């Protein structure tokens, strides 16, 4: 039985509810809402994330309360039931309806049943919420941690990335290229090393690096960051790893610059066309990467034809995909990867999860058909 109560919608950035079971007390619900709102307020400075997280929490709590459960009573089986519910919310006339204003009396939490990728996103958000409430001390366990990384097979998986072996091929190839006989060739070699380090460790888009300058590196409380302007003119800050800082120092040393950048270097491009600080164009950067990877492809044709085929098709954006995939593989929290890539939606970042396919292959070849 579903009961409509007075509280509904978002008031002053606080989550309230519309549907609850009659046996649940208003006091217990109010306590849980208070805790969920504490979690939500962590995201008030990122409107898109806040809206997405609020919607996921609201839907889950409305369904949870409608079956006479609360956050502390959620088990792995309850989560499985909720996954099935999101695929087919029933009764449909209560849960689904046309998009309306939150204040409209016929507003519904779902427009239609959710697809696989949307369900995955909801579960990832709820997993994050539960972990926050565990860390806060309100809950003692997180049942969402029992779920495998990829809950439902994605319809679309990004494949334009280099695996770890292929990335190692590329780094070794660039590292051991002849440095060149003259200053121009030596600069081209040092710039090439810098380009691949920069794009891999920052996951920057091509336009982001060609418009940035050395002054966009900043040091905050002993931590180095790169500030970029991404899609739609949005600003983003990317943490600088120790490996990238070492690459930066090497490149700057070759350019006869001080080891570390400063805010006065607005005239020095992040990647220069030559050692006179002329800016490199986007098309030139694209051609450098394509040319390098094509040469590596030719070198690998006899020893590793599969990797040779991959490198034949590599472009600038592959390095962004490679960085994202390797960050996820390294176990970095998806929310952190989302920030590093300046994605508006967590769902976009989730496309870089390849863990389950790897596990599927490993489990099959090691446990099936063995004699």
pLDDT band at 212 (very low <50, low <70, confident <90, very high): very high
In a domain, 293, yes or no: yes
Same domain, 122 and 36: yes
pLDDT of residue 354: 56
Q: pLDDT tens digit string along 134-183?
A: 999 999 999 988 765 443 334 444 368 898 999 999 999 999 998 888 88
Same domain, 192 and 330: yes
With beta carbons less than 8 A apart as the criterion, state whether 106 and 89 touch: no
Same domain, 241 and 121: no
333 DSSP assignment: -
Same domain, 211 and 339: yes
pLDDT of residue 286: 93
Mean pLDDT throughout 231-252?
89
Mean pLDDT throughout 275-295?
91
Domain's final residue, options 93, 114, 146? 146
How would you class 57 by CB atoms within 10 Å of its CB: exposed for 0-12, middle for 13-18, buried for 19 or more?
buried
Same domain, 60 and 169: no
Please report, rounded to a whole number, the percentage of residues in the chain having pLDDT higher than 70: 81
Assess whether pLDDT exceeds 60 at residue 80. yes
In a domain, 156, yes or no: no
Q: Print the domain residue range for 227.
A: 164-362
CA distance 185 to 191: 10
Q: At 51, which CATH number?
A: 1.10.150.130
Same domain, 213 and 354: yes
Q: At 222, which CATH number?
A: 1.10.443.10
Average pLDDT, the chain: 82
Q: Which two tokens stand for residue 193?
A: 């090393």
Same domain, 346 and 309: yes
Same domain, 193 and 270: yes
In a domain, 87, yes or no: yes
Q: Beta-carbon neighbour count of residue 248 at 10 Å?
A: 24
Assess whether pLDDT exceeds 60 at residue 202. yes
Same domain, 111 and 178: no
Same domain, 16 and 42: yes
Domains held by the chain: number: 2
pLDDT band at 359 (very low <50, low <70, confident <90, very high): low
Same domain, 122 and 232: no
């Amino acid at each position: 039985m579903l009961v409509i109560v007075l509280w509904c919608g978002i008031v002053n950035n606080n989550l309230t509810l519309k549907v609850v079971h009659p046996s649940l007390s208003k006091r217990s619900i109010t306590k849980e809402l208070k805790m969920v709102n504490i979690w939500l307020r962590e995201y008030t400075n990122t409107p898109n994330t806040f809206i997405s997280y609020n919607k996921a929490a609201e839907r889950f709590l409305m369904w949870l309360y409608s079956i006479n459960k609360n956050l502390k009573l959620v088990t792995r089986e309850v989560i499985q039931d909720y996954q099935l519910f999101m695929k087919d919310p029933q009764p449909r006339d209560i849960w689904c309806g046309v998009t309306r204003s939150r204040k409209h009396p016929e507003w519904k939490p779902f427009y239609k049943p959710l697809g696989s990728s949307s369900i995955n996103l909801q579960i990832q958000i709820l997993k994050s919420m539960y972990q926050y409430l565990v860390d806060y001390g309100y809950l003692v366990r997180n049942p969402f941690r029992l779920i495998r990384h990829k809950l439902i097979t994605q319809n679309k998986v990004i494949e334009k990335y280099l695996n770890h072996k292929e990335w190692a091929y590329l780094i070794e190839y660039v590292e051991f290229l002849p440095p060149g006989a003259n200053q121009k060739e030596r600069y081209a070699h040092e710039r090439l090393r810098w380009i691949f380090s920069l794009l891999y460790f920052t996951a920057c888009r091509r336009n982001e690096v060609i418009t940035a300058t050395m002054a966009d590196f900043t040091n905050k409380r002993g931590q180095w960051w790169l500030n970029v302007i991404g899609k739609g003119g949005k600003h983003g800050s990317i943490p600088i790893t120790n490996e990238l800082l070492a690459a930066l120092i090497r490149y700057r040393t070759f350019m006869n610059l001080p080891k570390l950048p400063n805010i006065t270097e607005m005239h020095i491009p992040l990647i220069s066309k030559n050692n006179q600080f002329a800016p490199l164009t986007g098309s030139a950067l694209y051609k450098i990467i394509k040319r390098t990877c094509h040469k590596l492809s030719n070198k690998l044709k006899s020893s590793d034809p599969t990797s040779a085929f991959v490198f034949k098709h590599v472009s600038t954006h592959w390095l962004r995909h490679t960085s994202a995939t390797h960050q996820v593989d390294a176990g970095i929290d998806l929310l952190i990867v989302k920030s590093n890539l300046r994605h508006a939606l967590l769902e976009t970042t989730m496309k870089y999860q390849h863990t389950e396919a790897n596990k599927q292959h490993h489990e099959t070849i090691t446990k099936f058909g063995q004699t």
